[in-house]
Structures are given as structure tokens and as C-alpha cells.
Structure 1
Amino acid sequence: MINESVLGIIAGALTSVSMLPQLIKVVKEKNVEDISLLMLLVLISGLAFWVWYGFVKDELPIILSNVFAILVNMILLGCYILYRKKS
């Protein structure tokens, strides 16, 4: 049986890097037409609550993976603001 801490680290790592391909694509193409601002805002909010939960439960894998995910998504949000087409 796999150790629960290792399981948490693997799960956290996979979910944390899940947005990296999207971020790389946006940076390369400088195109955010297919990105939903609402989705980004809801996702960042949810991740922030996971960080809070991690602190409450004193679970470092939850804290670290979600802080990393917040950083990736904040960069994506910055790209959204920078590259969006002004109407």
C-alpha cells in the first residue's frame, strides 16, 4: 500500500502542473481568446481555500501544491490581462 503522504504529494504535483501546458501555450502565442476570466478567478479562489485548509490541517503537501498552482494561475491571469483584445 502506498504511503498517504506520498499519495498526497503525487496528487498535488499532478494537479499543480495541470495548467502549465495552457500557460506555455498562452505565453508562446500571446493569445488568451479561449481563456475564461471567470474560470481563472473561481479556480484561484478555490486554490486559496485549499491553502487555508492545508494550514488548518497542517498538511504541507496541500499547502505547497496549491501555492504553486496559485502562482501558475496568477501568471496566467496576468497574461490574460496583458494579452486580451481591447474592445
Structure 2
Amino acid sequence: MEHQEIIGTLAGIFTTVAVIPQIVKAVQTKKVNDISPVFFSVLLLGVGLWTYYGILKKDWPIILTNGISFLLNGFMLVFYFVTKEK
């Protein structure tokens, strides 16, 4: 793996796992009222587009890290709407 691929892969991993503590906390506490659904919607659109871009470029680090990020952020957004207090 070349230096550029290592940097890109590490960047993707770190940005992907950044949301995990928020997901864990929300699932444990079942409290999501302080979470912004707009933020997660915009983030979901962004990582979805990055995933598509990776597919077009056939760039596996981009595809995998952003695809996983899309799933995690999608889960968080769905979890928000399922558990938010009305």
C-alpha cells in the first residue's frame, strides 16, 4: 500500500469511527433530543456522495470507509426518529 493510500485509509477510518461514541451513548441512554437530525441528514448526504464518488473512481478506501459511515449515520438518523420524545 502506498503512502497516499495509507493516509487516505487512516483519514477515512478516523472520520468513520468518530460517530460511534455518539451512537453508543444514544443507544445506552435512549436520549436523542440533543442530536440534530439536520446535521445527520447533511452528513448522510455527504458520505453517500463520497461513496458514490469512490465507486466511480473504483477507490476501495473511499468506498469502504464512507459506505460504513453512511450506514452508521443512517442508523443514527433512524434511531433519532424512532426514539425521540414527542
Q: TM-score, normalised by structure 1?
A: 0.92
User: How far apart are residue 10 of structure 1 and its match?
Assistant: 0.6
RMSD of aligned residue pairs (Cα, Å): 1.0
After TM superposition, the runs of 4+ consecutive aligned structure 1 residues lying more than 6 A away are none
Residue 22 of structure 1 corresponds to 22
How many Å separate the matches in 2 of 1:53 and 1:24? 29
Amino acid at match of 1:15: T
Q: Give secondary structure in 2 for the equivalent of 1:31.
A: coil
1:6 counterpart = 2:10: no
5+ unaligned residues in a row in structure 2: which ranges? none
Overall identity of the aligned pairs, in %: 36
How many Å separate the matches in 1 of 2:58 and 2:5? 12
Residue 46 of structure 2 corresponds to 46
How many Å separate the matches in 2 of 1:18 and 1:76? 13
Deviations 1:4-42 (A, max 9, x none): 111111111000001000000000000001111111111
Deviations 1:25-74 (A, max 9, x none): 00000000111111111110011110111112111000100010011111
1:74 counterpart = 2:54: no
How many Å separate the matches in 2 of 1:10 and 1:24? 22
How many Å separate the matches in 2 of 1:62 and 1:21? 22
5+ unaligned residues in a row in structure 1: which ranges? none
Q: TM-score, normalised by structure 2?
A: 0.93
